[in-house]
Amino acid sequence: MEEYYYYIKSLHLIFVITWFAGLFYIPRLFIYHIEASKKPSPDREILTKQLQLMAKRLWYIITWPSAVLATFFAIWLLILNPVFLKMPWMHVKLGFVVLLILYHLRNHIIFKQLQRDEVKYTANYMRIWNEGSTIILFAVVFLVILKSAINWVFGVVGILVLGVLLMLGIKFYKSIRSKNPEA
């Protein structure tokens, strides 16, 4: 089975990438949907219907299957090479994976609400929410590349700095957008 290890690892990585692509884009569609809900008729109905269709296709054709397959191949890799489960950095990584799964499930709840035209969040809230997967991605990539749970403290500080920079970027974009709504 060892000769297949790198094929399985490649498939895991491919589905992690497509899973993240879905997680990066679905909150963006949520933002557009929320903004469309404030438009006058008939624009509101036309845009909402189109955005619901786009979200449904993204969520069920790309994001969910990618999440399931990335998880399947990850478990398979851990079965083939259980020594990773003894490494402290892997425990931290798996903690971030749990956070990613929770983020995914929360997106699913928001997706279902918007499919029913229940708008419970603001576009600004969704812009901040959209950065959740970015922060998790940074954490996981640094853990996997550096393979160090000792330095995870520095990574957490870096993630917090990244979070602050993202918030400043969102505020900056909001100020630009308020001056020019087409931006």
Binding site listing for heme: 12, 93
Annotated binding site: 12, 93
The alpha carbons of the chain give a radius of gyration, in whole angstroms, of: 19
Rounded to whole angstroms, how far apart are CA atoms 68 and 85? 20
Residue 109 structure tokens: 């709840």
Token reading at 65: 């299957």
CA distance 178 to 183: 9
Q: Give the number of other CB atoms < 10 A from CB of residue 120.
A: 10
Identify the CA nearest to 19 among candidates 68, 56, 55.
68
